[in-house]
């Protein structure tokens, strides 16, 4: 019997609050982000987490730490990998999202943020993120789930969306409609290939994506 696969996005960082694209830039959670990360941990207290994964970026690591502390899972095996890092926003790193929306227009802005293969100067597309996330998932995360372990993965909006695309078998066009809001927990039961058998969504409260 497989374990549960639990996906979460880090909570609010200093730059999220300011509306800036953070990408690979390392920024800590802000005080609100720390508090809400603890609330995310409360959502999974009923699940005995056996293994955890996070990116190499501090906002992911801090969110995971808060969640595990609340769950009193202090010493479980934890792995960090750059494969789970956020999308590289290249030349747009540090730019204000809402200013860019005004500059590009709503349709182009949505393609930039949520599209599958929309190019960013000196950055990554979601397709490129998928290309590094999926092999890591198949080689490192899925085997633990297949062993019957409950696995928690705390990553980023786009790296989590890349995982969801595979797990839920979402089309290239369909992924544009998938959001990973702050405070959401996606809990999956998957088959041997890592595809969805059952899905549950838990949410700290009504929060908008950022």
Q: In Å, what is the CA distance from 82 to each residue of 2, 54, 57, 127, 155?
A: 26, 9, 8, 16, 10
Position 145 pLDDT exceeds 90: yes
Q: Which residue of the set 62, 86, 124, 156 is catalytic?
A: 86
* 194 labeled binding residue: no
pLDDT level of residue 1 (50, 70, 90 thresholds):
confident
Cβ(147)–Cβ(115) below 8 Å = no
pLDDT at res. 207: 55
What residues does 185 pair with on adjacent strands?
A: 8, 202
pLDDT at res. 154: 99
Query: Residue 167 has which token pair?
Result: 């797990």
Q: Which CATH number fits the domain 5-88+127-203, given the four candidates 3.40.50.1240, 3.40.50.740, 3.40.50.300, 3.90.70.10?
A: 3.40.50.1240
What value, to the nearest 5°, has the Cα angle with vertex 24 and ends 26 and 202? Answer: 85
10 given a catalytic annotation? yes
pLDDT at res. 196: 98
Q: Which residue of the set 10, 62, 124, 156 is catalytic?
A: 10
Model-level pTM? 0.95
* 27 labeled binding residue: no
Cβ(21)–Cβ(97) below 8 Å = yes
pLDDT at res. 206: 52
Mean pLDDT score, 134-155: 99
pLDDT at res. 134: 99
* 88 labeled binding residue: yes
pLDDT at res. 210: 56
18-22, 54-58, 144-148, 206-210: segment of lowest average pLDDT: 206-210
> What is the DSSP track for 71-139?
TT-TTS-EEE-GGGSPP--GGGTT-BHHHHHHHH-HHHHHHHHH-SS---TTS--HHHHHHHHHHHIII
Mean pLDDT score, 183-194: 98
User: How many other CB atoms are there within 10 angstroms of residue 114's CB atom?
Assistant: 18
pLDDT at res. 172: 97
User: How many other CB atoms are there within 10 angstroms of residue 153's CB atom?
Assistant: 26
* 28 labeled binding residue: no
pLDDT at res. 205: 75
H/E element, 16 = helix 14-18
Please report the sign of the dihedral spanned by the C-alpha atoms of residue 158, residue 162, residue 167, residue 173.
positive
* Domain definitions of the chain by residue range: 5-88+127-203
38 given a catalytic annotation? no
> For 87-137, what is each residue's pLDDT tens digit?
999 999 999 999 999 998 988 999 999 999 999 999 999 999 999 999 999
Position 29 pLDDT exceeds 90: yes
Cβ(19)–Cβ(97) below 8 Å = yes
User: How does the average pLDDT of the chain come out, rounded?
Assistant: 95
- Alpha-carbon span 87 to 2, nearest angstrom: 29
* 2 labeled binding residue: no
CA proximity to 4, closest of 180, 198, 181: 198
Please report the sign of the dihedral spanned by the C-alpha atoms of residue 59, residue 63, residue 68, residue 69.
positive
């Amino acid at each position: 019997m497989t374990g549960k696969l639990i996906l979460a996005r880090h909570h609010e960082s200093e730059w999220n609050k300011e509306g800036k694209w953070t990408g690979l830039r390392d920024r800590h959670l802000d005080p609100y982000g720390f508090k809400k990360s603890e609330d995310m941990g409360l959502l999974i207290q009923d699940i005995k987490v056996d293994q955890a994964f996070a990116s190499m970026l501090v906002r992911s690591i801090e969110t995971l730490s808060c969640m595990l502390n609340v769950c009193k899972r202090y010493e479980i095996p934890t792995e960090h990998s750059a494969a789970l890092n956020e999308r590289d926003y290249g030349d747009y790193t540090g730019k204000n999202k809402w200013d860019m929306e005004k500059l590009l227009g709503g349709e182009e802005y949505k393609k930039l943020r949520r599209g599958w293969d929309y190019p960013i100067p000196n950055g990554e597309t979601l397709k490129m993120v998928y290309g590094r996330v999926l092999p890591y998932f198949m080689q490192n995360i899925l085997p633990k789930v297949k062993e019957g372990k409950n696995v928690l993965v705390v990553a980023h909006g786009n790296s989590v969306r890349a995982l969801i695309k595979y797990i839920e078998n979402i089309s290239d066009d369909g992924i544009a409609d998938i959001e990973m809001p702050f405070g959401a927990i996606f809990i999956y039961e998957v088959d041997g290939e890592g595809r969805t058998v059952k899905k549950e969504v838990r949410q700290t409260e009504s929060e908008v994506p950022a």
